[in-house]
Structure 1
Amino acid sequence: MPTVLVIDDNPAVATALEVLFSLHELRTLRALSPQEGLALLRKEAVDLVVQDMNFAADTTSGEEGVELFREIRAAFPDLPVILLTAWTHLDAAVDLVKAGAADYLAKPWDDRRLIASVINLIELGQANRELQQRVQRERRQRRDLEERFDLRDVVWNDPATERVLALACQVARADVPVLITGPNGSGKERIAEIIRANSSVKEGPFVTLNCGALPSELIEAELFGADAGAYTGASKAREGKFEAADGGTLFLDEIGNLPPAGQMKLLRVLETGRFERLGSNRERQVKVRVLSATNADLPAMIRAGTFREDLYYRLNVIELRLPPLAERPGDILPLAEHFLPPGKSLGEAARAALRQHGWPGNVRELKNVMQRAGLLAANECIEPADLGLPVAAAYIAGPTADPEPDRDSIERALARASGVVAQAAAELGLSRQALYRRMERLGIVRS
């Protein structure tokens, strides 16, 4: 049951509040002096404090109430405090709200407003604690991931990316094919590198082939090699990718572009580990871990008859889907800063513009944008005009043109700032007060 501490030297007021709170299933602790209230806070778990501004030992100035609030704030900075004040203390109460008090109500108070404020603040506090726990859990998971595995210096800050990385590391030691799916430019090859770096064959060769970068008539020769005279221009025997990758890992990018004949031969190698060079009748035996990637809808290609279903299931023992950058918004700014040339930095308006862009070209597009901006920007600080993005035009007039960040952007900024609103506001290019207003409008917890 949530607990409210009432600090008021008037027993009648404390009793009235206790009755009111009990009707709404709130436990109440009572303290008749600031000293008693601080002592209770040190030994009891309290969700919220309702304190008077004036005590018997004080004059009508409210100074004792101000001092009590400051002591609570110093010792328990995250504990919400509601002030009960006479009209003579209104200015002091307003000043304390600016200093961090959650709310103030004039005596005699309105029961409905008080209860609404109390319940809302308790729920916000509970949600904020859950957010902090989630942030701490994610930090522990990230630290564990970085300590246990070779992540190839990958840059990320989004939970969606972390899930892919964790799964990639988990399946790395299993000697089975892995299919990595996702749009072009999203970083599929980096995931393949991470799998290889944490596999049992990490000391072996790592060979790559982009199946979409070669004419269909040459792909088989690239995969399996060819004897001299096997095709026009083959003046000498050549080793294929499977032979080069023996004892290691072969990464086949854009696997959906593999022609039907190549699909059939690849299936045989996956099943038996055996193949023949073009123009040769001699079988060769290899042991290769095959990783593949595609941006194509392979199930749709199977239905259209352009991709073998049996090969699909051979390649897809484990599937890792890497989301587009637009679905990993927490990665945008860390990657942008990573791609900036030395000596350059991102202005707040430019950071906001980067977050708002849709990134159809994914990480590859972001890298190109940042490298171009770093080279062409006249000043050390990158501004929206330097980015060359359509969305950046809304920011060129200054921060006042900043579209409101959405709920997801605010929650992620709060998570990165460990719930510190001032830090999250700076990242979002907002004032602390503006961020508070938007959080309240969206029902987001505050620290």
Structure 2
Amino acid sequence: MANILIIDDNDAVCTALKTLFMLQGYQAHSVASEQQALAYLANAQVDLILQDMNFAKGEMTGSQGKALFYQLRALLPDTAIILMTAWTSIDMVVELVKAGACDYIAKPWDDERLLTTVAKALQLSQLQQSQQRLAQKQQARLSAFAGKDLCGLVFASSAMEQLLQMALQLAPSNAAVLITGENGTGKEGIAQVLHANSPRKHKALVKVNMGALPADLMEAELFGAEAGAYSGLTKTRLGRFEAADGGTIFLDEIGNLSLSGQMKLLRVLQTGEFERLGSSVTRKVDVRVLSATNADLTKAISSGAFRQDLYYRLNVVELHLQELKNRRDDILPLARLFLRGEKTLSKEAEQALLAYNWPGNVRELQNICQRALLLAPEAQIQPADLALPQEETSGKRALDDFEQQQIEQALQDAGGVIARAAKQLGISRQALYRRMEFYGIATP
């Protein structure tokens, strides 16, 4: 229940406003002067202040209210303040709104407009406080990774935090790691973190997209080939494994490797030895192998398309990246990163991004932000500028996985304690805050 402080020297005005607010379910308290307001605020917390601009009889300049506003803004920088008076200059109102006042209500006021203004101000304040809490948690998360190279990765979700902690724990070892997840989830970024925090970081990280290599050239690309090994090759070709000697090789879309290539890869993993195509000379390298796939390799094993022994060599540890739709807290930090500070997102655009299902994951988000950066006509991006596919946004909304009644009941059962309600629903506190924002449920 929101707590509203009314600052006005007119008893009749205070009584009318307190009655109006209490009928709407708000708590309301009134004081008659600047001194009383500051004394009350020293011992009480308020969610919104409705402030008159003149307190002395015959005063009409608004200077008293202006001075009080700046005192209140310095004392409570995050509290919503609405100005109200019959006598003041428009220039002063504009100045104070620019300085952080939520709005200005003229006397005599319209009850409906006043209540709408108060509701919007409270909603915006709660959203800002929620974002501040998320930012503080993000800062705390980043401090836990102090001294580590995250390779520019941005995250706010607990899922990514746990994954990165595991990756950093694995980084110093030589263990083969299989990174799994849908296309566009950021598997290459995790491989970069593993390499950058390993003893091999001063050597090469060689990336190979197995899906982009022709099948007949795949083995030559990986292990090299002698001149004349195949038509058109006139000089020795150095393979990716030789290029990665002493460092790390990242084999993306590993499920595309041919069976003969799988056999050679298995040997490299076991002994570090291989031969170039067209050569009988055995060569040896010291390479850590990281691989990634969006396919189910166990099914490929069952069909005979992938060697089981190679699978177990590659999958000493598996790191699984969740889809972006399951990492909702990462969406806005990533979007701001992709916008590079050149443009900002309106609140409506942020809501549209959060409600979208992201079938293309982080890669799709990056593309949409880059397009909006180029085509949005204003400095602030609106939902239309995002051009999100209609078929994805017209169905069940992404945050609509709990009914409003379920969330309200959980909050009631938990006595308004967010952590308890989140635990009852089986989601994180951040996820619960997102859904409360989605439904317009006020923070208890």
What TM-score comes out, normalization by structure 2 length? 0.62
Q: Does 1:319 align with 2:321?
A: no
Match of 1:279 in 2: 278
Q: Does 1:343 align with 2:345?
A: no
Cα 1:252/1:407, change in 2 over 3 Å: same
For residues 161 and 279 of structure 1, the distance between their equivalents in structure 2, rounded to whole angstroms, comes to 45
Match of 1:228 in 2: 227
Match of 1:198 in 2: 197
For residues 183 and 380 of structure 1, the distance between their equivalents in structure 2, rounded to whole angstroms, comes to 33
Cα 1:266/1:394, change in 2 over 3 Å: closer
What amino acid maps onto 1:144 in structure 2?
A
For residues 298 and 403 of structure 1, the distance between their equivalents in structure 2, rounded to whole angstroms, comes to 29
Q: CA deviation digits over 1:397-416, x for unaligned, max 9?
A: xxxxx9987669999xx99x
What is the 5 A alignment of 1:222-371?
A: 222-371=221-370
The CA deviation at 1:138 is 7.1
For residues 408 and 202 of structure 1, the distance between their equivalents in structure 2, rounded to whole angstroms, comes to 48
The CA deviation at 1:232 is 1.2
Q: Does 1:384 align with 2:383?
A: yes
Q: CA deviation digits over 1:136-173, x for unaligned, max 9?
A: 8875443111x131101111111111111111111000
What amino acid maps onto 2:288 in structure 1?
R
**Secondary structure, aligned partner of 1:185:** coil
**Secondary structure, aligned partner of 2:318:** strand
The CA deviation at 1:439 is 3.1
What amino acid maps onto 1:143 in structure 2?
S
For residues 234 and 355 of structure 1, the distance between their equivalents in structure 2, rounded to whole angstroms, comes to 52
What amino acid maps onto 2:237 in structure 1?
R
Q: Do the aligned residues in 2 keep the contact of 1:350 with 1:392 (CA within 8 Å)? A: no
What amino acid maps onto 1:374 in structure 2?
L
What amino acid maps onto 1:226 in structure 2?
A
Q: Do the aligned residues in 2 keep the contact of 1:357 with 1:391 (CA within 8 Å)? A: no
Q: CA deviation digits over 1:212-267, x for unaligned, max 9?
A: 10111111001100001111111111100010000000000000110111001000
Q: CA deviation digits over 1:315-374, x for unaligned, max 9?
A: 000110011111111111111111115531111111111111111111111111011111
Q: CA deviation digits over 1:11-41, x for unaligned, max 9?
A: xxxxxxxxxxxxxxxxxxxxxxxxxxxxxxx
Q: Do the aligned residues in 2 keep the contact of 1:353 with 1:391 (CA within 8 Å)? A: no
For residues 385 and 185 of structure 2, the distance between their equivalents in structure 1, rounded to whole angstroms, comes to 23
For residues 393 and 274 of structure 2, the distance between their equivalents in structure 1, rounded to whole angstroms, comes to 58
For residues 403 and 260 of structure 1, the distance between their equivalents in structure 2, rounded to whole angstroms, comes to 41
For residues 30 and 336 of structure 2, the distance between their equivalents in structure 1, rounded to whole angstroms, comes to 50
Match of 1:47 in 2: none
What amino acid maps onto 1:439 in structure 2?
I
**Secondary structure, aligned partner of 1:250:** strand
For residues 392 and 337 of structure 1, the distance between their equivalents in structure 2, rounded to whole angstroms, comes to 25
Match of 2:15 in 1: none
What amino acid maps onto 2:383 in structure 1?
P
Q: Do the aligned residues in 2 keep the contact of 1:188 with 1:322 (CA within 8 Å)? A: yes
**Secondary structure, aligned partner of 2:441:** helix
**Secondary structure, aligned partner of 1:337:** helix
The CA deviation at 1:388 is 1.0
For residues 149 and 342 of structure 1, the distance between their equivalents in structure 2, rounded to whole angstroms, comes to 24
What is the 5 A alignment of 1:20-59?
A: none
For residues 438 and 331 of structure 2, the distance between their equivalents in structure 1, rounded to whole angstroms, comes to 24
Match of 1:439 in 2: 441
For residues 151 and 194 of structure 2, the distance between their equivalents in structure 1, rounded to whole angstroms, comes to 10
Q: Do the aligned residues in 1 keep the contact of 2:266 with 2:313 (CA within 8 Å)? A: yes
The CA deviation at 1:304 is 1.3
The CA deviation at 1:70 is 9.4
Cα 1:215/1:73, change in 2 over 3 Å: same
The CA deviation at 1:71 is 7.1
Q: Do the aligned residues in 2 keep the contact of 1:356 with 1:391 (CA within 8 Å)? A: no
For residues 72 and 392 of structure 1, the distance between their equivalents in structure 2, rounded to whole angstroms, comes to 53
**Secondary structure, aligned partner of 2:178:** strand
For residues 324 and 176 of structure 2, the distance between their equivalents in structure 1, rounded to whole angstroms, comes to 25
For residues 341 and 144 of structure 1, the distance between their equivalents in structure 2, rounded to whole angstroms, comes to 25
Q: Do the aligned residues in 2 keep the contact of 1:341 with 1:374 (CA within 8 Å)? A: no
Match of 1:44 in 2: none
For residues 141 and 197 of structure 1, the distance between their equivalents in structure 2, rounded to whole angstroms, comes to 19
**How many corresponding residue pairs?**
309
For residues 202 and 403 of structure 1, the distance between their equivalents in structure 2, rounded to whole angstroms, comes to 39
The CA deviation at 1:379 is 1.1
**Secondary structure, aligned partner of 2:212:** coil
What amino acid maps onto 1:142 in structure 2?
L
Runs of 4+ in structure 1 deviating by more than 2 angstroms, as ranges, are: 67-78, 132-142, 390-395, 402-411, 434-440
Q: Do the aligned residues in 1 keep the contact of 2:134 with 2:156 (CA within 8 Å)? A: no
Match of 2:174 in 1: 175
For residues 135 and 370 of structure 1, the distance between their equivalents in structure 2, rounded to whole angstroms, comes to 21
RMSD between aligned alpha carbons? Answer: 4.0
Q: CA deviation digits over 1:185-212, x for unaligned, max 9?
A: 1110010000000001111111111111
Cα 1:320/1:436, change in 2 over 3 Å: closer
For residues 189 and 268 of structure 1, the distance between their equivalents in structure 2, rounded to whole angstroms, comes to 24
**Secondary structure, aligned partner of 2:211:** coil
The answer for unaligned runs of 5 or more in structure 1 is 1-52, 54-60, 79-98, 100-131, 396-401, 416-423, 441-445
Q: CA deviation digits over 1:276-296, x for unaligned, max 9?
A: 000000000100011001101
For residues 399 and 231 of structure 2, the distance between their equivalents in structure 1, rounded to whole angstroms, comes to 62
For residues 393 and 258 of structure 2, the distance between their equivalents in structure 1, rounded to whole angstroms, comes to 46
